Amino acid sequence: MKRAVSALWARCAVRQAYPYTTTTSSSPEVGASASEAWDGRFRLHKPRGQHLLTNPRVLDAIVRRAAISSGDAILEVGPGTGNLTARLLASHAARVVAVEIDPRMVESVTARAAALGLADKLTVIAGDAVEVEFPEFDVCVANIPYGISSPLIAKLLFGPYRFRTATLLLQKEFARRLVATPGDGEYNRLAANVRLVADVRLLMDVSKRDFVPMPRVDSSLVEIRPRGIAPGVDVSEWLAFTRACFGQKNKTLGAIFKQKRMVMELFGRSQRAEECAGGVSLGALDGDSGEDDCGETDDGSNRAVGFSEEEVAAFKERVAGALDTAELAGKRPSKVSNDELKRLLRLFNKRGVRFQ
């Protein structure tokens, strides 16, 4: 009952704080009420992912699905003009921190909170969400610009943050890849990396017609819930390992790791593990391209300078031995569970095979 009253109060407050959209000459987008429809007072940049969610029923559903508790600190990324922010401020949360890179949006969402009489609950951080440091928060609720979905999720899950849930509105295709499981045709490196540290579930789909300007694709709302327990492997090593596994996901693991180029790159990395060691790469949850050339010579060849053919052959045998012990040489990475992949990584590392 309290949630219903809160949601009703939020809708009424939004209408009072955002009445000027009713004066536009064009009709609102399908699914948008007069209070949320975009009035076109400044230009929205589609290439930057500026698509405003305007359907009040969807906005209400997002806040409801976020399961916000009394006293929560909420992190919102990309608040835009504040359609979702207004509802978060009207919830039982203690405060909302919104991160926004566009100065025009910063001004808009700040003014909207003031009009609602809730400015004391809002803090706006002006900057790039991938680059700025987040304050402590309990839940993240956001309509994420499509272009930063992967690095932002990486930052949330593999950064220093401890939070209960992230309820994120993502491009539908990206969301399907995110929630894929081993054996699915869409299972990929992104899903494997996220599932190392969190549980993910699909909450609902959102039509592209509920946004202004209308994007080319539909969206989906997902919930990411960190497990709060250690993954059992070195995270940096795991991210580099899955990059090698899923770079050619239609090949078997045996075929991937028996390629001459792969063997030579791993040999070079393993011999210079300390030189190549580094922190977690926060932009590396998906994609299949290597992010460094450690292990290759300056001329781009696959020779291991300073080592004999016998040493390289022995290393190749260690790689094959790990695959045979794990009984995964004949399987494609998209068919293998994270537990199986973690076991294979441990076997590789035990034999001196390093991935970063």
Does residue 331 surpass a pLDDT of 70? yes
The full DSSP string for 248-309 is TTTS-HHHHHHSHHHHHHHHHHHHTHHHH-----TT-SS-SS-S--TTS-TTS----TT--H
Pick from 69, 88, 70: which is nearest to 78 by CA? 88
pLDDT > 70 fraction of the chain, expressed in percent and rounded:
77
Asked if the structure places residue 297 within a domain, the reply is: no
| C-alpha span between 39 and 312 (Å, rounded) | 66
261 with 213, same domain?
A: no
pLDDT at 22: 27
| C-alpha span between 28 and 30 (Å, rounded) | 6
219 with 107, same domain?
A: yes
Annotated ligand binding at 78? The verdict is yes
241 with 158, same domain?
A: no
Annotated ligand binding at 51? The verdict is yes
Asked if the structure places residue 217 within a domain, the reply is: yes
175 with 320, same domain?
A: no
| C-alpha span between 222 and 178 (Å, rounded) | 9
CA distances from 50 to 7, 112, 124, 190, 343 (A): 25, 18, 17, 24, 42
The secondary structure element, H or E, covering residue 137 is none
258 with 158, same domain?
A: no
Asked if the structure places residue 220 within a domain, the reply is: yes
**How many other C-beta atoms lie within 10 A of the C-beta of residue 159?**
12
133 with 242, same domain?
A: no
210 with 128, same domain?
A: yes
| C-alpha span between 44 and 216 (Å, rounded) | 15
Q: pLDDT for 173-214, tens place per residue?
A: 999 999 999 988 789 999 999 999 999 999 999 999 999 889
pLDDT at 306: 61
CA distances from 169 to 110, 202, 207, 238 (A): 22, 10, 11, 27
Residue 49's pLDDT band, with cuts at 50, 70 and 90, is: low
Look up the pTM and report it.
0.81
The torsion defined by the Cα of 174, 179, 183 and 187, in degrees rounded to 10, comes to 30
58-93 burial, b for 16+ CB within 10 Å, e for fewer? Answer: bbbbbbbbbebeeebbbbbbbbbbbbbbbbbbbbeb
123 with 193, same domain?
A: yes
pLDDT at 248: 87
78 with 105, same domain?
A: yes
Pick from 245, 281, 284, 274: which is nearest to 262 by CA? 245
Does residue 288 surpass a pLDDT of 70? no
pLDDT at 57: 97
Annotated ligand binding at 45? The verdict is no
Does residue 136 surpass a pLDDT of 90? yes
CATH label of the domain that carries residue 84: 3.40.50.150
- Provide the edge-to-edge strand list for the sheet that holds 139-143: 122-126, 95-100, 73-77, 139-143, 165-171, 219-226, 198-206
Asked if the structure places residue 117 within a domain, the reply is: yes
Does residue 4 surpass a pLDDT of 50? no
Compute the average pLDDT of residues 161-179: 96
Asked if the structure places residue 290 within a domain, the reply is: no
Asked if the structure places residue 202 within a domain, the reply is: yes
CATH label of the domain that carries residue 343: 1.10.8.480
Report the number of distinct structural domains present in the chain.
2
Asked if the structure places residue 300 within a domain, the reply is: no
Annotated ligand binding at 100? The verdict is yes
Asked if the structure places residue 64 within a domain, the reply is: yes
Annotated ligand binding at 221? The verdict is no
Say which range, 29-38, 66-75, 122-131, 217-226, has the weakest mean pLDDT: 29-38
332 with 220, same domain?
A: no
205 with 72, same domain?
A: yes
262 with 330, same domain?
A: yes
Could you list the residue range(s) of the whole structural domain that residue 220 is in?
A: 1-16+44-226
